[in-house]
Amino acid sequence: MEAFSTNKKIILWILILVGVYVLSDFLIYVGINSTYKDIQRLDQNSQVVVYQADATYVNGRIRGMIKDIRNIQGKYLKIELYTKRDVLIGKSYVEIENKDNTETQPFEVLFRANDVAYYKIDSVNEKELGGELEILPKEWTRGEVLLATALTFLIFW
């Protein structure tokens, strides 16, 4: 009878740990994403569709799709970031790839800049020297986060 009680306790602890993990994952996701505010677009470039453009006070992200890339292959998208007072904070470039048989290309820019309120997107032939923003590394996938968490637990154990 004691073995059955021990198994119940182990299952209960596993369920508690899974519940705490799910709750903390949800709260972290909501907490981080609630700090992002939408930023406005200044241009009317119909070739570039942006489906996410938001920023916190210190960093931000712009994600979208470039349509009909056959006409602009080998060029760059220049993304300029501005404050509320129209001060240019910096710029970032996305290379438009040379692809056969495709008409669209997704892009993602994760940047570190303070107080971004607006952005403008243009296509240019080449990068300008200087003034390019510090690009943040890509966001981790769920598997990478779990692996890093497991390794952290192993280090402290």
pLDDT digits (tens, 9 = 90+) for 27-52: 888 888 888 898 999 888 888 899 99
pLDDT digits (tens, 9 = 90+) for 104-118: 888 898 888 888 899
Pairwise pLDDT comparison (19 vs 70), residue with the higher score? 19
Cα separation of 42 and 115, whole Å? 16
Tokens for 6, please give them. Answer: 């021990």
DSSP type of residue 137: P
Q: What percent of the chain clears pLDDT 90, i.e. is strictly above it?
A: 21
pLDDT at 139: 64
